[in-house]
Amino acid sequence: MKTPDKTIAIYHRVFPHESFEDTVGILLQLLKKAQSDFPDAPRHLYLTIDGHRNSEDGFDDDMLELQSKFMVEVLIQYLSGADTPLAKVKNPKPQNNNLPSMLNLIKIDPPASGGPGEPNTKPRF
């Protein structure tokens, strides 16, 4: 099948009740749907976020992690680019069209004391 000449726009609005895990699951399903409907077409994500603010009016830890670490280290490989409230990100490599059926992520929290020791791990997704 010929790849469409135009980029497929994927839009997701993160609602205040959605967690990091909810949002990652939704984004993966949107990517899979786009790949199914428009095989190998370039994909660009547009993300908006409602709520999820801290006391300084910045993003809470989950949405900060989603837009920075997760977007750059995991998700961008499946996109040609992304626009988030914090940044516009372009994939410097060819888009990966082999989407996983699920993502297994873990969250690593620093030790509670802030001192040396093993980090605590919690399932992230």
Binned at pLDDT 50, 70 and 90, residue 87 comes out as very high
pLDDT tier for residue 3 given thresholds of 50, 70 and 90: low
* Confidence band, pLDDT 50/70/90 cuts, at residue 111: low
Average per-residue pLDDT for the chain: 86
Query: Rounded to an integer, what is the distance from CA 105 to the centroid of its chain?
Result: 12
Per residue in 36-83, pLDDT tens? 999 999 999 999 999 999 999 999 999 999 999 999 999 999 999 999
Cβ atoms of residues 59 and 52 within 8 Å: yes
Query: Among residues 37, 35, 41, 31, which one has the least CA distance to residue 4?
Result: 41
Q: How do the domains of the chain map onto residue ranges?
A: 8-92+102-123
Residue 60, classified by CB atoms within 10 Å of its CB into exposed (0-12), middle (13-18) or buried (19+), is middle
Model confidence, pTM: 0.79
pLDDT for residue 108 is more than 80: no
Residue 112 has pLDDT above 90, yes or no: no
